[in-house]
Amino acid sequence: MRWVGLVVLLLGVTFLGCGDEEVGCRSDHDCEGELICEPAGCRRACETAEDCPAGQACVPRRVEPGRMCEV
């Protein structure tokens, strides 16, 4: 029965998403608008924390040069 809870949790996380961020990109071209691709999915590019939604920080990208918004 515990596996049912795990399945429900995984489905909830999958379908709730993270607002305007997409998951499953391979390059920046896979992301809509001005979002950029990172291993965790599409993220908003930024120069400073003011460019990010409330509660997010502007941090260095993990793969490419530049910065991105992250919780």
Neighbours of 17 (CB within 10 A): 11
Confidence label for 22 from pLDDT (cuts 50, 70 and 90): very low
**Each residue of 51-64: pLDDT tens digit?**
999 999 999 998 88
User: How many domains, the chain?
Assistant: 1
DSSP notation for 53-69: PTT-EEEE-SSSSSEEE
Taking residues 7-34, report their average pLDDT. 62
**Chain centre distance of CA 27:** 13
**Each residue of 27-53: pLDDT tens digit?**
999 999 989 999 889 999 999 999 999
Domain that holds residue 17: 2-70
The torsion angle over the Cα atoms of residues 24, 28, 33 and 35, rounded to 10 degrees, is 70
pTM assigned to the model: 0.61
